[in-house]
Amino acid sequence: MSVSQHEPKKVLGFFEEISKIPRGSGNEKAISDYLVDFGEKRGLVTKQDEALNVVIYKPGSPGHENRPPLILQSHMDMVCEKNADTTHDFLTDPISLRVDGDYLFANGTTLGADNGVGVAVGLALLDSDDIAHPPLEIVFTAEEETTMKGISNLDPGWFKARRMINMDSGSDTTFCVGCAGGGRLDFTVPVKRESLTGEMVCKLLTVRGLLGGHSGVEIHLGKANSIRILGRALDALKAELDLRLISVSGGLKANAIPREADAVIALPPADIGKAEQILVALQQTLRTEYRVPDPDITLALVPTQEYTEAFTCDSAKKVISAMLLLPFGVLHMSYDIPGLVETSNNVGVMETTPEGVSIDCALRSSVPSRRLLVRKQIEALADALEVKVDFGHGYPGWTYNPDSPLLADAIAEYCKLYNEEPNIEAVHAGLECGFMLEKIPDMDIISYCCKIFDGHTPNEHLSISSLNRTWKYTLALLESL
């Protein structure tokens, strides 16, 4: 049975059609041109920019032509991941779909429901002539999954609407009403080196056993950070022993809570036993502190090769201080939405280079002023340690507006349709809504979608019944607007 034999047939039909077009991030020319052709063939005003964003305008249905317009927004690109035993070329091959009960899967690859569902809903609305709706400005953005290049280059002058539905978060029972903004920062401690003198033994100090996690989704769980733990271990050793620091490293990605970290150190042979005792005591302390989120923290000294140079004592002190003092974890919770992290910083990656020690962080906040405050605090720390900090290009947040008229309308229609209240949430991660709000500050935004599971993995799948519920609700909401 074809995917489009299930309800909602029109939406699933278009999803099946765009799944034939390779559309990984950075490879959106074909899908962008398809969308342009789609709009033009239906006689609709259609625009495409150099970033490959596409906007298709549809007049209001009869009797509703003069209602305030509405933006419906989704991104056209998808994450391209596949199982090791799957033969698939994301540059040329269509996504192979299969239905298993209520769920739509791909065969061994990501499905592209994120955000192909939003694209398919937009196409179904543009293709229909029996739906009551206000004037629509349907926006398909490019390269959301990697650089946000599409939305960041979108021309705000293309839009008359001041209300927008984003279809890239939430679910059929949940409205998303805010997201964090953020950016990367690189904290670099210049390091001077000198020859090791006297009889010294080199050891590798390892931090293992941590669970790690996504710094946006799981930062509130209080998990241990291996870079911070390594800093504590070095500080404890240096307080009692003649420790010399040779190198430090840890973490893999700025937006992931690091699970492992290492330091190469040198100690007098007579101090090795004492060092192991210090680490055993600290390990027990850490396992007590993190007994719920990270109960298996393990510190160890293991053999390594011998080195002839180490950081100067002043350089080592600055490196350890940075590891201890850089803010990590939840820095502020939302006043408006219980349980929502408002501001956080993740100390994600640390490496030693010929120039020094670089620490890469991911700073997030849904309130721009608080993000600026943390930035100022990190700059003050850099000044105090006489080191360098560089802030990369960030992405804007979307601050929850409890007085949103669009949200009030959406909730009222949901209650009318289902006789129950929807869930309201914000996410401590980035969405394109923040960019739109930055470009058009008086834009009123909500976000919802159907239930999608295991996104960004080859097990990605969506609930067909949830998609049908989302479609029916969207039709009801458009009619009410």
d(CA 3, CA 182): 38
Task: State the catalytic residue, choosing from 16, 28, 77, 460.
Answer: 77
d(CA 429, CA 450): 18
**Residue among 90, 83, 71 at smallest CA distance from 30:** 90
Are 358 and 350 spatial neighbours (Cβ–Cβ below 8 Å)?
Answer: yes
d(CA 166, CA 51): 19
Task: State the catalytic residue, choosing from 114, 144, 262, 438.
Answer: 144
d(CA 22, CA 32): 11
d(CA 125, CA 138): 9
Residues near 309 by beta carbon (within 8 Å), at least 6 away in sequence: 193, 194, 195, 196, 246
CA dist 174 → 122, 142, 310, 450, 466 (Å): 20, 25, 55, 9, 12
Instruction: Answer yes or no: 77 catalytic.
Output: yes
Residue with tokens 């997201």: 179
**Residue among 24, 29, 313, 338 at smallest CA distance from 191:** 313
Catalytic sites, residue numbers: 77, 144
